[in-house]
Amino acid sequence: MQRRTLLATASAMMMALAAPVLAQDEPLKVGFIYVGPVGDGGWTYQHDQGRLAIEAEFGDRVETTFIESVPEGADAERALTQLALAGNKLIFATSFGFMDPVINVAQRFPDVKFEHATGYKTAENVATYDARFYEGRAVIGTIAGHMTQSNKIGYIGSFPIPEVIQGINSSFIHARKVNPDVEMRIVWVYSWFDPAKEAEAANALLAEGVDVIMQHTDSTAPLAQAQAAGAIGFGQASDMAAFAPTPRVSSIIDDWSPYYIKRVQAMLDGTWESGSSWAGIGDGEVVIGEISDAVPENVKAEALALRDAIAAGEYHPFTGPLNKADGTVWLAEGETASDADLQSMNFYVEGITAQIPQ
């Protein structure tokens, strides 16, 4: 009897001792909600690559799950809650439209950390993250400025929101820097992903005499159309290497893995803190895809030098003197744009003749 009690006590003590060890061995559960399908080949695909990078980096120490194609709004709130209830301690929500649902769910799960992409609302347990795509646009804008023969560059925009407008301005500034005769034609398709419409937009631009197409939409349709017309373009979100060496002469890739790995590491170390991350080329979040042989060697070198200068923090793509399209002064000589200015950007820079749709 005594012996049994002793044994029981011992095993209880063992259990008690083992418990924290067990807890540590239990993998950190990390959840993701995606706005599109993993197979979209663009935005969501790249986020899922980031998720896989976490698995590759941490192995057994993490366990990741995702819910794809979650509509923004009510369904997002439920999906987030399900993820939290399933024991995920770190949840990434990868679309702007998930912003209010994330804030709502975060209030109900104070122990769970949330990471919201491209939004602007933070909380004790909600951090935001985004990438400085405009840095990459500066590099491919430089290539575009050199490569255009007709001096007309086309730009397919998704929605007239600050992120996209930053990209248009950055591309234009750097194209014009290397080619003062460059003009930019802009077409809005009001969708992030609509292959048929993107193709039509590309064709409309090509008919206008454009021979370089830049896009801030996710499908390869513009590249396919560019090829048929002998024009060039750039991969967007993912590398779109299937279209290299032409028409895809380079690409601007979203690489979320450095940030995701950093944040998971912080969770494992217990050092996670809320904040707003806006990383760019320097942190490896915006990657310039391989510049193909269709681009002359000197242009390639210039583009890579610009990339390295931005990465090293020696150069800011929005450095004065820069005027707004209406002729008013935006940045004085040597002045660089503040993040706050960029995040609410709703104007074109001087030289772009189009109007931003209101």
Interaction with other proteins in 207-246: which residues (CB under 8 A)?
207-208, 210, 219-221, 224-225, 227-228, 242-243
- In the complex, the smallest distance separating the C-beta of residue 355 from other proteins, rounded to whole angstroms, is 5
205 binds other proteins (CB under 8 A): yes
Neighbouring CB atoms inside 10 A of 274's CB total 15
278 binds other proteins (CB under 8 A): no
Residues 6+ apart with CB under 8 A from 283: 258, 259
Among left, alpha and beta (phi > 0; psi -120 to 50; other), residue 209 is left
Note the helical H segments in 270-320.
297-311
Here the tokens at position 346 are: 């709703």
27 binds other proteins (CB under 8 A): no
Q: Among 105, 153, 199, 286, indicate the residue that binds other proteins (CB under 8 A).
A: 199
Considering only the stretches 19-27, 92-100, 299-307, 308-316, report the one whose residues sit in contact with other proteins under the rule CB under 8 A. 92-100
Number of residues that bind other proteins (CB under 8 A): 74
Work out the angle at residue 336's Cα, subtended by the Cα atoms of residues 335 and 340, and round it to the nearest 5 degrees. Answer: 130
Count H helices, E strands: the chain? 11, 14
Q: Among 162, 258, 282, 351, indicate the residue that binds other proteins (CB under 8 A).
A: 162
46 binds other proteins (CB under 8 A): no
For residues 321 and 343, what is the distance between their CA atoms, to the nearest angstrom? 19
User: How far is residue 234 from each of residues 144, 208, 223, 352, measured CA to CA in Å?
Assistant: 9, 19, 7, 21
Q: Among 60, 74, 149, 273, indicate the residue that binds other proteins (CB under 8 A).
A: 74
186 binds other proteins (CB under 8 A): yes
- In the complex, the smallest distance separating the C-beta of residue 269 from other proteins, rounded to whole angstroms, is 26
CB nearer to other proteins: pick between 94 and 219: 219
CB nearer to other proteins: pick between 105 and 306: 105
188 binds other proteins (CB under 8 A): yes
For residues 153 and 8, what is the distance between their CA atoms, to the nearest angstrom? 78
Work out the angle at residue 128's Cα, subtended by the Cα atoms of residues 122 and 133, and round it to the nearest 5 degrees. Answer: 145
- In the complex, the smallest distance separating the C-beta of residue 286 from other proteins, rounded to whole angstroms, is 21
CB nearer to other proteins: pick between 156 and 281: 156
